[in-house]
Structure formats: C-alpha cells, structure tokens
Homo-oligomer: A and B are copies of this chain.
C-alpha cells in the first residue's frame, strides 16, 4: 500500500532488506526497452521457488505466456511459505515472466497514466535496483526508456506479499480454486487491493490458479474470459496431480484427467535436477517449447562455474556488509554516475548464483563447491521446506523482524532434503551410469562415503539414516564389500524392480505438502491458535467452529427478532397498517390457538392466549413477549384438561403496537411451529 507512495525509500528498503537478509537472487527488471515485442522481452528470475526448479519454473512461465492463445501480459508465480514463528501463511514473489502488452497498451501506458513525476520515480527506482545488482553506484544510463504502467506494476509486484489468504492469490491458495477476474469492473470491485491497483495500471484481466505450493497469476491488459484452454495449460505445466480442490462448490477447476503421466514427468524434471542435468527426455518435452540455448545457459549457471560466487558464500557476512553499504548509499543519494553495465534484461547473471548460494550459507560452507557437489547443493535448494525460501523472507523481512527465524527454521529439513536428493541421484543414475560429470559408478558406494566428494547434508558424515543405508552398513559390516552385488540390481531399495516408488515418494511428498498447506491455511483462519502444534490447531479450529456456530445462531435468532420487531415498527409507521400478514396464521388457528389482544389505556395491553397445554406454550408466549419487548405486569396461567389459558397484562416499553400488530406478531411467534 504505502509501497505505492511516492516515497521511494520504503520500496527501496524493501528491496534492500530482501537482498540483505535472505540473499535476493538473480535480478532482472522489466526491459527498459519495452519496444521489443518478441518473446522474452523481459525475464525475471529471482527468488527460488519450492518444488520448482528455478529454471524450469521460469521456462514454464514463459512457455505458458508465449504459447497461450490469449495475449497475457505477465505471469507471476507466488510462492507460498509459512513463518514458523508466527504461523502466518505468506505468499511472496516466487518468479515472474513479463511479456508486455500489445502496442496500444504501450501507447496508453506511456501516454495516459504515468506522469512525468511518475516516470522519474520509476526510473529512479530502477536505477537503484540496477546499482544494487551490479554492485556499483546508481547508474541512470540503464533506464532511458519509459517504464510503462504494466511494467511498473509487474516490477512492483515483487514487493508484494499476501498474508493468510489476503488478496487474490491468497484467496486462490486458500480456497484451492482459481479466481478469474476479467474486466476493469471486476478488478475494481474485487476484494483485493492488488486487483484494483492492477486495474489502475491498465490490467484488465487477472487470474490466479492455485498451483502446488503457490499461486500462478496471469495478467493481461486485454479482456480475457475464462477458457479451459489456459486452465489445461496451467494444469499441464504446473499441476502436481494435487490440484483438485478440497471444497465442494463446483469450481471450474476440475481434477487433472489423464495428464498424470505427463505431469509426473514434469515433476520428475523439476524435482530432480540431476535428471535434468543429464537431459532427461521428459524435460526435453518441455524444453522444446523454449529455446534450447536457455537450457544450456541455465545449466551453466547451475554449475557455479564462477568461483567468486562460492567464495562469497563462504563468508556470508561480507555479503551482508556489501548490501549494507548499498543501502546507505541509497539513502544518501541517488543518481550517481554509472560504472557497470546494467544487468537488466540479461537472463542469467552471476548474481543469480551468488544469491543461490547465499540463501543457505550454513550448509554451503560445509561443501566442497566443486564437481558433483553443486548438484546436491542445488537440489537442496529446490526443496520446499515451508518457511524461508528467500522469496518469502523477502517480504516477511520487512514485515516483521523474524526473518532470521524463518531462514533458520528450514535448516532441519535440509538434511532430509539432501538425503532425499541423494536417493534421487541414485535413481537418476540408473539409466545413465556413465553420466558426464562425476556420478560415482556404484550407487552403493555413493552413500556411505562421506570422504569421496559427496557429502549428503547437514552434519558431515554423520549417521545418514534412511534405513536402506543402515541395511547397507549392516551388509558391509558382516561381509566385505561385494562388488559383484552391484550389477545385480543397481540401486537397492526398489524391492520390486519397478521405479514406481520414486514417483510414489514424490506423490507422498506432495500430499504432505498439500496437507501442510491446508494446515497453515487453517491456522490462518482460526484466531487464537494456542500452540503451534497440529493437534492443538485442530482442536482450536473445532472449538472455534462450534463457538462460531452457536454464536451464529444466537446472532441470527436475535437478528430474526430484530427484524420482526422492525417490521412491526415499520408497519405501524405507515399508520394505516391494513395488512399484517396473518394469512398463514389462519389455518393454524384451527389447531386451537386463539389469541386475543386488547389495547388498554396508555402503553398497556391485555393478551389472552388459549392453546393446547403441550410443548410449553408458556415459554413461547413469554419468549414472544420478550422479543416484542413487552414487559409483563401481570400474568396468569391455568390449565383445564388439555387446554391452557394464559392471560397477561403487558406494558409496551420501547414501542407501542396497535392491536392488529400485536396480534399478528404474537400469532407469528406462537402459532407457528418453532423453527427447530
């Protein structure tokens, strides 16, 4: 919100803080030359996304946009994460792809919305970012072209985050159903600040798909109405077979049909970078939609062939200081002469590796950053421990000071992730025993070594559990290593030769992830979650629901009372009441309910009710009198055989009724059967 103010320091602070605390990853901005109409006019590949390998994520966004029939302007993947300290669910920038709008969009973007001051502001910010990335002083030569509204909107989206189901993406995530807003009107009335801002910046259509552990948002300056085509595309590219929505409600988001195999292949590619590294054919399937050169580039970046970056990670504090320096610089002044060529528009950069390494310094330091180490390293990074993916801490860092916690909080699962990855490597090597880089020939030798080159995860060569390894150990201790055992059944665990368990663990992983997402979502909607514990959360949710339910019905009954009271009041106001609705009371009269009402002097009235004695008619009458706010001055009840006669003298305290009103009101409350 205030990010949108003209005071750019807050925004810069957000940017800075993100880079500062969590190692903001590779940077690129919307192309400062918005004229380029070709695909990949501008690419952002910042924060790593859980589940999604960064490169394939980026590629998939691009694929989605570029191959879509509709003209989408941008695609953003909002990465979901959770602040372990507060339990808040956070949707933060995961990755984005900006294509740009049509020609008239640009014209409009340039002409109308953005004033000169705006432009100056935008350029200033871009310059700041530029300098931040390049490490040099701010340079304005990079930002010569105008920054269109949509570009700006896209850019600024990076600073957005959505807590606990806020906003359009949050709603999509929590509800599990895609939301489709087409048309400025829809955007303007949407219960989401972002939608309104987008509309303000010329966005006409915004769609949010819940996807895995995040939300995919598509935006367009054009009017795009719901189509199954894009939905299918999204499903194919992003689905984890886990997209079907829990809630009923006939969403258009049908469960994935027969794409499961394709999706599984995609999963394989995105969760097993090793497999991708060795050019898994299933990845090529995706790849052929994009430039193969890009794949190569991204592969290179994976390898950290730049030693300086790994050097940096060995001392994270240096990076911190560096960012700090820039931060001060930015606060002191802007617009210094340029020094480095701007990085904007470049798809890959050293900075990317830098950030990738720095995002998890504690493990990185223990690694030998050469050869296969990076594979493990990288694959570590791909995992999605709910908190502390940098994209999330980017935003949480400037929202609360606990970002340090979150980044620490994932340390736990890192080891597990590493061991899992190791398994993946084992499996991945199945078909490529002569993989190019390192790839130890025998899988059974890979695991326990700890000295060769592959160190699995957190604590050195510690007991890296995973029971199969234990069994291996046992075998090794009982016998000497049997080299001829390896060719027999390469990997080990499979038990049955099928590689189904590999997909199985992935599926299970996703299931857990989904469940956890739901838990987080639940935690978000339930107030006063006592403990962070799951069971407690459920218990609280239950009691909350019951409480809400009971409160609901009490409020509703009160509402009912008020409503009828009001109705009576209004009727009376018209001075000529004429029609108090008692047409349905007529037949109930036949059941032996007889009401007699007489208005006495002043505010007093006499009521006489005769009915069957069963079912506590006294309670009903008195309840009705209470609802109508009639104070009892005198009453008497007597029963003769099965008939009860109630007589009461009441005072109309807060308002007065006519005889007909009173009669009608009483009838409706007494003669009608109780709603229960």
For A474, the chain B residues whose CB sits under 8 A away are 471, 475, 489, 492
In the complex, what residues of B have CB within 8 A of residue A541's CB? 522, 541, 545
Of the listed stretches A143-151, A292-300, A587-595, A623-631, chain B binds: A623-631
- Contact assessment for A569 and B573 in the assembled complex, using a CB-CB cutoff below 8 Å: yes
Is the Cβ of A634 less than 8 Å from the Cβ of B625?
no
Interface mask (A471-493 → B, CB under 8 Å = 1, otherwise 0): 11011001100100100110011
Stretch at the interface among A108-116, A122-130, A652-660: A652-660
Q: Once bound together, how far apart are the Cα atoms of A635 and B545, in whole Å?
A: 40
**Which residues of B are found within 8 Å of A192, using beta-carbon distances?**
none
Q: B residues within 8 A CB of A479?
A: 479
Among B539, B573, B634, the residue within 8 A (CB) of A247 is: B539
Structural contact, B552 and A548, CB atoms closer than 8 A: yes
Residues B616 and A622 in contact, CB atoms below 8 Å apart: yes
Q: How many copies make up the complex?
A: 2
CB neighbours of A631 from chain B (8 A): 613-614, 616, 639
Q: Does A570 contact B (CB under 8 A)?
A: yes
Q: Is the CB of B655 within 8 A of A573?
A: yes
Stretch binding the partner chain, chosen from A77-85, A154-162, A408-416, A460-468: A460-468
Count the A residues whose beta carbon is within 8 Å of the partner chain — how many? 102
Contact with A522, one of B247, B538, B619 (Cβ below 8 angstroms): B538
Contact present for B622 and A619 (CB under 8 Å): yes
A573: which B residues are within 8 A, CB to CB? 569, 573, 655-656
Which of A242, A489, A633 has the most CB atoms of chain B within a 10 A radius of its CB? A633
Query: Are B632 and A644 in contact, CB atoms less than 8 angstroms apart?
Result: yes
Interface contact B468-A467, CB-CB below 8 Å: yes
| Proximity string of chain A (602-632) to chain B, C-beta cutoff 8 Å, 1 when within and 0 when not | 0000000000011010111111011001011
A558 interfacial contact with B, CB 8 Å: yes
Decide yes or no: A559 and B569 within 8 Å by CB, A247-B543, A648-B637 being known contacts: no
Cβ contact within 8 Å between A467 and B478: no
B639 near A637 with CB under 8 A, answer no
Which chain B positions have C-beta within 8 A of A226? none
- Surface stretch bound by B, among A268-276, A279-287, A513-521: A513-521
Q: Are A465 and B495 in contact (CB under 8 A)?
A: yes
User: Any chain B CB within 8 A of the CB of A452?
Assistant: no
Expressed in whole angstroms, the Cα–Cα distance for A227 and B538 within the complex equals 29
* Inter-chain contact A246/B535, CB cutoff 8 Å: yes
A509 within 8 A of B: no
Whether A555 contacts B554 by the Cβ 8 Å rule is no
Q: How far is the CA of A569 from the CA of B623 in the complex (A)?
A: 22
Bound-state Cα–Cα, A632 to B618, Å: 7
Are A539 and B245 touching (Cβ within 8 A)?
A: yes
Residues of B within 8 A of A305 (CB): none
A544 is an interface residue with CB less than 8 A from chain B: yes
- A574 and B655: CB pair below 8 A? yes
A69 within 8 A of B: no
Interface of chain A residues 502 through 526 with chain B (CB within 8 A): 511, 514-515, 518-519, 521-522, 525-526
Partner of A246, one of B174, B531, B558: B531
The 8 A CB mask of A333-351 against B (1 = contact, 0 = none) is 0000000000000000000
In whole angstroms, how far apart are the Cα atoms of A613 and B558 in the complex? 21
Q: Which of B539, B622, B633 contacts A518 (CB 8 A)?
A: B539
Contacts of A676 in B (CB 8 A): 551, 554
Closest B residue to A648 by beta carbon equals: B637
Q: Shortest Cβ distance from A444 into chain B, in angstroms?
A: 11
A307 part of interface (Cβ distance < 8 Å): no
Chain B residues positioned under 8 Å from A531 (CB to CB):
246
Q: Which of B165, B566, B639 contacts A566 (CB 8 A)?
A: B566
Q: Tell whether, in the assembled complex, residue A654 and residue B548 are in contact, meaning their CB atoms are under 8 Å apart.
A: no
A248 at the interface (CB under 8 A from B): yes
Determine whether A107 belongs to the interface, using a CB cutoff of 8 Å to chain B: no
Q: Which of A230-252 contact B (CB under 8 A)?
A: 242, 245-249
Residues of B within 8 A of A565 (CB): 566
Q: How far is the CB of A166 from chain B (nearest CB, A)?
A: 12
A515 and B535 in contact, given A542-B521, A548-B548 (Cβ under 8 angstroms)? yes
A651 CB, min distance to chain B CBs, angstroms: 9
CB pair B522–A542 under 8 Å, yes or no, is yes
Q: Which residues of B contact A635 (CB under 8 A)?
A: 618, 635-638
Question: How does the 8 Å CB contact mask read for A542-572 relative to B, with 1 for contact and 0 for none?
Answer: 1111101101101110110011011001100
CA distance A578 to B652 in the complex (A): 12
Is A328 in the interface zone, CB < 8 Å from B? no
Given contacts A533-B246, A569-B566, A619-B622, are A525 and B551 in contact (CB under 8 A)? no
With a CB–CB cut-off of 8 A, which chain B residues contact A543? Answer: 174-175, 246-247, 249
Cβ contact within 8 Å between B566 and A562: yes
The 29 sampled A-B contact pairs (Cβ below 8 Å) are A176-B539, A246-B535, A247-B530, A463-B496, A465-B495, A467-B493, A470-B471, A470-B495, A475-B475, A515-B535, A515-B538, A519-B538, A521-B538, A521-B542, A522-B542, A541-B545, A548-B549, A555-B556, A559-B562, A566-B566, A580-B654, A616-B632, A619-B619, A621-B622, A623-B623, A632-B637, A634-B637, A634-B639, A637-B648
Query: Assuming A467-B493, A562-B562, what are 13 further A-B pairs, CB within 8 angstroms?
Result: A246-B530, A247-B536, A247-B539, A467-B495, A468-B471, A471-B475, A522-B538, A545-B545, A555-B555, A565-B566, A578-B653, A634-B637, A635-B636
